Amino acid sequence: MNITYKDIIKHSPRGSEAKMWDEVERVDCLIDKLRKENPEMARKFMREAYEAMNGKHINEWLAREMVEKMWHGEDTKKVMGELVTPSDAMQLLAGMEAEKVEKMKWDAYVAANAFMHDSVESGVAKNDILRIAKHWWFHDADMDEGCHKVYWYFKDWIFG
């Protein structure tokens, strides 16, 4: 007999949420092992799992993790983390349909901070940098119908 993990989950009485999180922890340990043995397969699995749960957009948790790791400058002058708040980043989505804005609000947060870190030392004013970022990220010819440009640009950084 060759039962699958899916069969076990599907045909078992539902346990507590704590038991389900214990199972998630067990699977996460297997993924850590897979990362060592077959990194490409692990990256693909993680990317597909993320996309199944979030689509090809950045969620709040991931956006905050990413922005926390962004930086510019060198050594003692290194500046890390948030330069643009989530509410200020929303100006990158001004003029878009409400449905798209809802999907992309955390994409905008990541995009605004990335662009700001890349441009802040140029001497250009913050509002001008954000205006340029808006056009580069969200009103550019390579913005696809699903509005996945930010996710597409950062997915290799996210999943290694």
What pLDDT sits at residue 141? 75
pLDDT above 80 (res 7):
yes
The first and second tokens of residue 121, run together, are 């030392």
Q: Give me the residue label for tokens 């995009």.
A: 111
What pLDDT sits at residue 147? 78
Instruction: Output DSSP code: residue 4.
Output: -
What pLDDT sits at residue 98? 92
What is the pTM assigned to this prediction? Answer: 0.87
pLDDT above 90 (res 13):
no
pLDDT in tens, 79-138: 999 999 999 999 999 998 898 899 999 999 999 999 999 999 999 999 999 999 999 999
The first and second tokens of residue 66, run together, are 């990413």
What pLDDT sits at residue 153? 93
d(CA 17, CA 71): 38
| Domain chopping of the chain, boundaries | 57-159
pLDDT above 80 (res 144):
no
pLDDT in tens, 51-91: 999 999 999 999 999 999 999 998 888 999 999 999 999 99
State which amino acid sits at residue 82: E
Check: CB of residue 91 under 8 Å from CB of residue 130: yes
